[in-house]
Structure formats: structure tokens, C-alpha cells
Amino acid sequence: MRAPKGHGITAVCRKIKENKFLLLFIFVYAFILTMANEFFFASDRMQNYDQAIYQYIGHLITEGKMPYVDAFDHKGPLLYLIYAVSCLISLKWGAWLINFLVMAGTIGVSYCIARRFVGKGWSASICLILYSGFMLLDFRGGTPEFFAGLFMAISLYYLLDYYFTGKISRKHLLLLGVCGGCIFWLKHSTMITLLLLCIFIIIKY
């Protein structure tokens, strides 16, 4: 199957960088969404219990302690490393900044995926509706699934490229492997979706 004419993923991503209005839309929308996050620097909301644990373990790592030894939780080590980086940035707003960047990245990749099938306006509308829906479902961010969402979107981005063209470069295969590894080390159960997508593509070809 061929990709819809003019909707090449690499070309669309290049255009996003060149389109200042689209970049502004992505960052402003990500900012608005992450205002609902308890990590938001101006928020007085109590932290969710799980996110508080993740941040605590991340903080312990910055003090030379070991996750699973000095403090135990059953999530993957990459999650605690992300929170460790956030603590090094700032204990007050570091976690929000990383949530914001991940949210912006996920929206950007989602826009690229939508551009495979529809025009610019519809693609932006799909992202607006999709992530507004997450917000209505009490979106908080900072969870393994939230971070894995970015890597899942990137994987889908390249799997669609292969689905439409029947070709995939070694560089993109390596990137898919890296994304799969990141998803696994965030929360291994979320790998199921990516594996099902890969199996579907393999069967299709």
C-alpha cells in the first residue's frame, strides 16, 4: 500500500519545524494540558500517591541511593531515572518541565501521524479533541503510561511509514528498538500494544 500523496512523515516533520504557528500551537496546547498536572509550578494540588513515590525514588537516586534497594516500587528503572533528571533540574518544577516536553512531543508526533490521512486543519483538530478528552478524564501525567505514550507514538509513526511504503531503514529499525526498550523499562506490560502492531505489520507483509 502506498502512502497518501504528499503526506510523507519525514516531510511533514520538517514542515512542523518551519511552521512557527504550528509550533506555537503545540507548545501552548501542551502548556494548557500540563496546567492540570499536580507538578505544575503554580499548582497547589496534592500530588498523586504514585507520582509522589516516583519522585521520591528519583530524588534518592540523585543522592547516590539505589532504587529497589533503598526504596522499592515495582515500576521500571527508566521511570525513576526520568524523575531523577527532573530533581536535578529543579525539585519544584523539574517534573512539570519534563511532563510538558513529553506532552509537546507526543502532540507533535500525533499530528504527524494524522497528516498521513488528513489535511493540516483536520490533523490539528484531531489532536485537540484527542488530548482534550484525556484532560476530561482527569489527566495528570507523570505516570509510566504517560511517558511510554511518546515512545509508542514514535513507534507507530515509523510502523505506518513501513506499512505504506514497504520499506524501512536500519536507522528506523534501531529507533524502533530503542523506543521498544524504553517502553519496556518504563512498564513492561505496555509493550503488548507495540508487539501487536509489529505482528500485524509482519503478517500484512
Find the range with the poorest average confidence among 3-12, 65-74, 105-114.
3-12
**Confidence at residue 11, expressed as pLDDT on a 0 to 100 scale:** 60
pLDDT tens digits along 41-83:
655 555 667 888 898 999 999 999 999 888 888 899 999 999 9
Share of the chain above pLDDT 90, in %: 25
**Confidence at residue 13, expressed as pLDDT on a 0 to 100 scale:** 64
Three-state SS string across 122-155, please?
HHHHHHHHHHHHHHHCCCCCCCHHHHHHHHHHHH
pLDDT tens digits along 126-175:
998 888 877 766 566 788 988 999 999 998 888 888 877 778 788 888 88
Q: Is the pTM of this model over 0.85?
A: no
